[in-house]
Copies of this chain bind each other. A is one copy, B any other.
Amino acid sequence: MKRHTSQRALGTPRSAIRELLKLTEKPEIISFAGGLPDPETFPHEELAEIAADELRGHYRNVLQYGLSEGSQTLRRAVIDWLRPQGLDLSLNQVLVTTASQQGLDLLAKAFLDPGDVIFCGLPTYLGAIQSFSLFQADKIGVPLQEDGMDLDVLEEQIAEARRVDKVLKAIYVIPDFQNPAGITMSLEKRKRLLEIAEQEDLLIFEDNPYSQLRFAGEAVPTLKSMDENGRVIMLFSLSKVLSAGLRLAFLIAQEDLIEILLRMKQASDLCTSKLTQHLAARYIKDYGMEDHLRILRERYRAKRDAMIAALEKYMPTEEGITWTRPDGGLFLWVRLPEEVDTEEMFPRALEHNVAYIVGSAFYVDGGGKNTMRLSFSVNSEDEIEEGIKRLCQVVREELAAKRVGLTAS
């Protein structure tokens, strides 16, 4: 029956990463591969109390169908939370989604016809690549620099795409602690990106799962908070700051765009669970996010510090080996010498009981073969040190093998 498969599904191959991830599940492996939040940060005791209370006292509501646009209580809670961050939102500018992956699906549904161009980082988030691919969009990759996307290259690529009469729709960015690279876009680049979008009549999809997890440096305003022309649609997720298992995020945009996205939401899953929405809403309202986020930030900073320290201690001091130093989020990004292929190296890493994510998975142009993403979020500091020690041994062996190979050939 596979012959009935749609063209769009045929163009969405099974993820190699998923296959690799399955290999990392053995308990003896220290894995830096997943993008999971630290489960010890989930406020489970508070959520248990709220859940029992909601299910006993409000079951007629929380166990029933809800509005497609999402529970008003939850939308108000997030509006109040984001107001001090320069976002003055009305209820109709916020749509609840079944986490941000659904937000990406709805954006692609609403705005991307086959062949339409979307610009995205090199590297960029794998799940976004999947969504845009499924809707047969033309993904054009723009290299990242230390302060975010290379906007000169972006402008060249826009001009080039216009020359060949492509339909340009949007730019996809993760400005804070980018997944996978851990890079933050500078204020200057954010301003210029908004200008380019205005000039070129493009939408901006601002993916924002990590901005609340800044543990170093100074906050940079979100693109959405600087958006004067209603071009920015922000995806704001609770997965990393409250719980990934509640499956909750928000699309934040001007009303006419939310109206289109709401129709897509209806056809996609009718509504998000009201139970999970009420758990989040009551937690945010009754307990507040500030204390909770302070704990998270401290925890993740300590883990990042442990990972950076271990990399500095164990990584060969060889030309061409670099890593990013993120000011927040869950990831950092390692670049190895050009001759190393991290996909080829992966089995060797598993032999040494350590795992990472192959960087090329995050490239829409087939590049990034010598890169990898390391997550510092779930392991303890001791595990991080031990895992990085193993990984650096793997890199040493791989480099040695390559050099022998080069000599031999």
Contacts and interface: CB of A to CB of B under 8 A. Distances in A.
A34 B270 CA distance: 13
A274 interface: yes
A266 interface: yes
B270 A127 contact: yes
B48 A110 contact: no
A225 interface: no
A254 interface: yes
Count copies of this chain in the complex. Answer: 2
A98 B170 CA distance: 28
A229 to B, nearest CB: 8
Interface string A260-286: 100110111111111110000000000
Interface stretch (A8-16, A72-80, A158-166): A8-16
Counting contact residues on chain A (CB < 8 A from B), the size range is: 35 or more
Given A2-B260, A9-B263, A266-B15, A62 B134 contact: no
Given A36-B64, A52-B51, A110 B9 contact: yes
Interface string A326-366: 00000000000000000000000000000000000000000
Interface stretch (A39-47, A86-94, A139-147): A39-47
A160 to B, nearest CB: 20
Contacts of A116: 6
Majority-rule SS of A interface residues: helix
B112 A6 contact: yes
A55 interface: yes
A101 interface: yes
B39 A64 contact: yes
Interface in A171-210: 203
Interface of A: 1-2, 4-9, 12-15, 18, 34, 36-37, 39-40, 42, 44-45, 47-49, 51-52, 55-56, 59-66, 98-99, 101-102, 105, 109-113, 116, 127, 130-131, 133-134, 169-170, 203, 230-231, 239, 243-247, 254, 256-257, 259-260, 263-264, 266-276
